[in-house]
Chain A
Amino acid sequence: MSSYILKKSCTRSSLILSQNAALKFPLIAHLFSSLSQSQDANSTSAYNFLEKNTAGFPLFSHVRSKIPSGSRWKFVPSEFVRLFSSQAAVEPSTSDGLTVEGIINKQWPILGESESDWKSHASSIAQSVHLIKKRLQWKKLKVRLGILSAQLEKPDLWDDPVHAGKISREHGSLLGKMKEVNSIEQELLEHIDMIKLAREENDQELESESIKALLTMRKGVKEKELEALLAGEHDSSSCFIEVQAGAGGTESMDWAAMVIKMYEVWAQQRGYKVTVVDEMPGEMAGIKRATIKVDGQYAFGYAKAEVGVHRLVRISPFDSGKRRHTSFAAVAVIPILGDGSSRVQINESDLRIERMRAGGAGGQHVNTTESAVRITHIPTGISASCQNERSQHQNMASAMSVLQSRLDQLEMARQAQMNSRHTQSLTDISWGNQIRTFVLHPYRMVKDLRTNYEVSDPDSVLEGDLDGFILSFLSAHWIKRKTSCNLS
């Protein structure tokens, strides 16, 4: 992915290897090293113990790209393959010979979804299909599928069951993708046939129904187009999103709170399950940092587009002088690996567990609802804390899962760095860089510094309307990744 990231993760890993626990991994803190202010020494917060060392966020980089796994076929009978490939060989078309490529060539203008214009819908779908095919490397995919089919037909294939299993799984996966795309094309053309028929017969009901069906399809395919972008190894995972306030006291803590809220609402709107894992409130307002867990398919794939520093320019409501302030919030995104993936083994004896208790005798003497837990992995210095659950047991489980994910991420970064010397020359974003600016004054806009994607309505973005930013980043990022693949 990025030479910058890789170089950074490389330094980071060597820190670990040297077992320099004292250096810990205050990556977010590191992010702010140039901006940060010193910790308020006489803070009376009850969370002092949590502040001692800011949790580290090792970087994560994708170096390998993988075709997203679609439907899996254990074994595909070769008759079927032949049957299917002969079908695929004939390019589908409408009754009057219009093909999907033909639609693209016509360059019908793509209007908003609310416009009930079938040509616009059809054009949008065709564009999406085109992009999906490009992302799947359609021509290569077909060649590869041919090779695999040939191998599957060899009579001695199953002499080596492991190899055979691999071949047949890959074949099944590729075939599944191909079938899916072909069926979209088929469906599109059928709807067009329907509309033409309806017009000939003057059947308005049928026409409007078919247009509606096209619209539904358009939305679904758009989503698929996005998913085709999410081909990274862990893109389909759930994730943690962590926001940390930069320098600037209450104003920037307020900003950090706005940012985490933005992600909560965004995730909520996407239908993900959101839980606040860890939240350290600021003294006056806002938060010093917070971690939320976003549960659901592709949460990481989307959210990773948000990694970096987010800048806010506005007249601070906390400044009685009504001056303009600039503040920063850093965002880290950590994938939660499924149990299937190789997860780092954590030794219980390597953990230091701290729990918040009012001092004193404890036990029957004390009534408290405080049950914060902080777990530190001593060899790496990485730690995680959770205080938002209502029992200690639950806080412990939550903190443990954050810690596990951070250690997994660290390990991934280490491995990525090991087998990626050749990507050193590539350029890409760095998660430590500023990625987005929100300006509320003197004018209003939100701009992504990587893609130049820009909107003039910050409120809608702060209310979770982030998909435009995410999509444009993922597309740009995808194209870059592709170019870099070709280079290497």
Chain B
Amino acid sequence: MKLSLTRTSLSSILAPLLCNSHPSHRPISSLSVSHRPTSLTPETTPLFLRPPTSSASLSDLLKFRNWAETLSSSAGASFSAQDNGPDTHLLLRELTWLLEDALENPKTLAYCNPSAVSNDLLVSLRTDLEELYTLWKQRIDERRPFQYIVGCEHWRDLVLGVREGVLIPRPETEQVVELVSDAIKGNDELGDGLWADLGTGSGAIAIGIARILRDRGMVIATDLSPVAVEVASFNVQRYNLQDKVVIRQGSWFGPLKEAEGDLVGIVSNPPYIPTEHINGLQAEVKHEPRLALDGGTDGIGDLLYLCNGAVSMLKPGGFFAFETNGEKQCKFLLDYMETKVKGSFNDINIVSDFAGIQRFVTGFRTR
């Protein structure tokens, strides 16, 4: 019976969230996007999803590949020396992926024998050859991130659409979903309840969680950036999760006032880079939105705000996981929770990422 109770309370919370029937309860900044159809222009549709409307001869395509390989070979070494940017191997691998996404039938290139190619064999492309030249020039000359070039990022088992204006999800962040998955194991209350992903960006974490919740709980995701909201909605729809993930525009907890005290979980990867470090970032990262990266003076402002908010937003027994800038922020946050909001949280833990850097703080709202 516990289950049906959970269900009832969940739907009563979600009803207003889903139907926007109480607009007066929501802060002004909160806009509804759920019934604005997400229409993407061809340029913002991930390359691999575009229709193969162009074509080029195989020999021209091979010429492009040779040109791009040469360009990458000379650039790679300097990028990695400059700011730990991509080396030649990586650039060449990206080039393979670009062609993989651009060709309707990627095998054509993989198994052709360059010396025995008939010049006029036509290959179907999802963008024209000229555009491929432009894109690769941008990759090398402007250090435009590869993920913006192809319009997608492979993250966990997902392929997420991304574009300028939204953060490219990081591999470290894959672990947030793992942490949630571990927390849910054997805990029906968490598995059946309402989760929040704050500052969802491309929707990565929200979608990851929705897929491990399967047909049980739900996720509500917020972001202040309208581009993020649009991209996240696109990704949610592509994975057919529009009934499980609600996207709201607004600041942090703003759009989910109705859910106060009812969330079973809060996750966030808020901007955490201290302002003074922004200028020294890797060239590719400078293409990403500042709103997604700049965490203010110490970089910890948003994390503290989320931590305070979690006290009232989480149900007793609810779980939280925050990504941080590293050891310093982790320790600060842990200390803050143990002293400043003493008694609100228990089982507070610092979890390291795969590179051994203390990256996440997790814990539970005290019952």
Contacts and interface: CB of A to CB of B under 8 A. Distances in A.
A361 B171 contact: no
A363 B94 CA distance: 20
Interface in B110-130: 110-111, 113
B154 A367 contact: no
A389 B154 contact: yes
Given A357-B355, A369-B93, A463-B113, A392 B174 contact: yes
A360 interface: yes
25 contacts: A46-B89, A265-B111, A355-B171, A357-B355, A359-B84, A361-B326, A361-B357, A362-B359, A363-B170, A363-B325, A363-B357, A364-B269, A364-B272, A364-B273, A364-B285, A365-B273, A365-B281, A366-B84, A366-B170, A367-B168, A368-B86, A391-B154, A391-B157, A393-B155, A394-B156
Contacts of A391: 153-158, 171, 174
A363 B156 contact: no
A353 B156 contact: no
Contacts of A369: 86, 90, 93-94, 97, 146-147
Interface string B272-310: 110001000110110010001100000000000000000
B80 interface: yes
B185 interface: no
Interface string B154-173: 11111000000001101111
Nearest to A393: B156
Interface residues of B, number: 51
Nearest to A47: B89
Given A361-B325, A363-B323, A366-B282, A45 B271 contact: no
B172 A362 contact: yes
Interface in A228-243: none
B357 A362 contact: yes
Contacts of A363: 170, 172-173, 272, 323, 325-326, 353, 357, 359
Contacts of A157: none
B22 interface: no
A458 interface: no
Contacts of A424: none
Interface centre among B93, B167, B272, B277 (most CB of A within 10 A): B93
B157 A393 contact: yes
Q: What are the nearest 9 A-B pairs in CB distance?
A: A390-B154, A367-B284, A391-B154, A393-B156, A392-B171, A358-B84, A355-B354, A357-B355, A367-B285
B174 A365 contact: no
Interface of B: 80, 84-87, 89-90, 92-94, 97, 107, 110-111, 113, 145-147, 153-158, 167-168, 170-174, 269, 271-273, 277, 281-282, 284-285, 288, 292-293, 323, 325-326, 353-355, 357, 359
- Interface of chain A, main secondary structure: loop
Nearest to A367: B284
A409 interface: no
A387 B172 CA distance: 16
Nearest to B156: A393
Contacts of A360: 84
Given A46-B87, A369-B94, A364 B293 contact: yes
A281 interface: yes
Contact of A281 (B80, B89, B157): B89
Contacts of A366: 84, 170, 282, 285
A349 to B, nearest CB: 15
